[in-house]
Structure 1
Amino acid sequence: MSTPMRQLVSLASRALAAQGHDDLIWGHASVRDPDGRGVWIKAAEWGLGEVTPDRVHLVDDAGQVLSGAGARHSEYPIHTEIMAARPDVGAVVHTHPPYAVALAATGQPLRPVSHAANMFVPPEVPRFTLTADLITTPELGKQVAAELGDHRALFLVNHGIVTVGPDLRAATVAAIVLERACHQQLLTHSFGGWPSWSDPAESLAKRANIYSERAVNAVWDHLVRQLDNAAG
């Protein structure tokens, strides 16, 4: 049976795939269960672009599938432990977008060379370097949550990214904007020399001017319209 949570995770997953976050069958988005039972997350063994509402299930904090079918993602602790540590977070995205992975691997910090990065910096986007392996235990999930702190995004170096938000719309838009920011920085640097970027005061002003809650929701609506248009 389809529920609003299943529909939302399906939409977010397909929007991420359409924006370059698809990585074969890997990557996942989740939303906090409104009744406190755990997280609604895509089932494993499906690509982000293949996620339909019936390929989303409810997973509790211990990793048990409470509702729905299919194999559970082994990295569920990324989602459950961040939400346990951050009551303000209603949704988590973890993907392996190529430009974000590449930029994080260089050791360079994300710089506001364009509008996109101003969503995140200042302060600097934190980097999780304890392991580049999968986050498959609650202990590792807690360490990821600790490194994320109160930030909106985290680089899992040599692995992927994590973004969070009060809802899945915001977390999804953040993941897409972060990948665009990393792409723009690498593109700028590829032309030689080092890019210029906004100073902290200008970055914070741009964040307020560009990334209001209304604007983020409008971006989400745009992403959904693109999915509808692609479906014909």
Structure 2
Amino acid sequence: MDNEIRKTVALASRVLGAAGHGDLVWGHASSRDPGSDAVYIKEAGWGLEEVLPERVHLVDAAGRVVDGSGPRHSEYPIHTEIMAARPDVGGVVHTHSPYVLALAAAGQPLLPVSHAANYFAPHGVPRFTGTADLILTPDLGKKVAARLGEASAVFLVNHGMVTVGPDLPTATVAAILLEQAAKQQLLTRAFGGWATWSDETESASKRAHIHSDAAVRSVWDYLVRGLTTRSAPAADLPEGLLTTT
């Protein structure tokens, strides 16, 4: 088992928990196991903020725990089927964050009213409405992956969200940006209208200027620094990651 990947999964989980994505013991983040069809994902039964490297195990496409211990999450097909459909994806996040849930349930598309929302240009955030129940089977996982398409996120309407990235830190930042974008859009609505938003050209420009790969990595480092200041032992950090503030 790759200890550095396990540390990254644990860190991503705790970052998500600290950012308000926790839902008791539900929600999970995964990282692709290089050279196999398996994913590193936290054991079931732990809240995101409780995840340590030793609570991360390796689960294959058939749902077998092939390395590590503890019960696996029943929604593992979200992760394995998206990674099977998207070779460019190295990390997947699934959470039930409150503002994303509210925006998706309201039937509203994500609009580029904020910097955060422009991260998801040009594909936007498609809506998966095949079921609001858990994604328990490979067939349902394939359907979620198909609805995601080439986007960086998908709404699971009346359920939650999924975000993806070339690695788990990127997928984690995407999840935090999506919740922030949904909150900002709903706040706009609370002031009595849908106001204004960027057109397609400006949205693409803002994404390029604000959300470069280097900027996303800087956001990840910032989130980890904040987390370690509060609770995470430095020994859990992947080698080479800046941990001082």
Q: Do Structure 1 and Structure 2 share a fold, with TM-score over 0.5?
A: yes
Q: Distance in 2 between matches of 1:126 and 1:188?
A: 21
Corresponding residue number in structure 2 for 1:211: 211
Report the Cα offset of residue 2 of structure 1.
Answer: 7.2
- Answering whether residue 148 of structure 2 is matched by residue 148 of structure 1, we say yes
Q: Distance in 1 between matches of 2:194 and 2:59?
A: 45
Task: Name the amino acid aligned to 2:189.
Answer: H
Corresponding residue number in structure 1 for 2:21: 21
Report the Cα offset of residue 228 of structure 1.
Answer: 1.0
CA contact (8 A) 1:110 1:117 kept: yes
Q: Distance in 2 between matches of 1:51 and 1:148?
A: 27
Q: What secondary structure, in the 3-state scheme, does the structure 1 residue paired with 2:176 have?
A: helix
> May I ask how many residue pairs the two structures share in their alignment?
232
Report the Cα offset of residue 142 of structure 1.
Answer: 0.4
Q: What secondary structure, in the 3-state scheme, does the structure 2 residue paired with 1:110 have?
A: coil
Report the Cα offset of residue 36 of structure 1.
Answer: 1.0
Q: Distance in 1 between matches of 2:166 and 2:194?
A: 35
CA contact (8 A) 2:27 2:95 kept: yes
Q: Which runs of 5+ in 2 are unaligned?
A: 233-245
Corresponding residue number in structure 2 for 1:198: 198
Q: Share of identical aligned residues, percent?
A: 67
Corresponding residue number in structure 1 for 2:227: 227
Q: Distance in 2 between matches of 1:80 and 1:22?
A: 22
Q: Which runs of 5+ in 1 are unaligned?
A: none
CA contact (8 A) 2:37 2:80 kept: no
Superposed CA RMSD: 1.1
1:35-64 deviation per Cα after TM superposition (whole angstroms, max 9, x unaligned) = 314000011000000000010000000000
TM alignment of 1:99-178, pairs within 5 A:
99-178=99-178
Q: Distance in 2 between matches of 1:86 and 1:65?
A: 22
Mean CA deviation greater in 66-75 or 122-131: 122-131
CA contact (8 A) 1:185 1:195 kept: no
TM alignment of 1:71-110, pairs within 5 A:
71-110=71-110
CA contact (8 A) 1:91 1:166 kept: yes
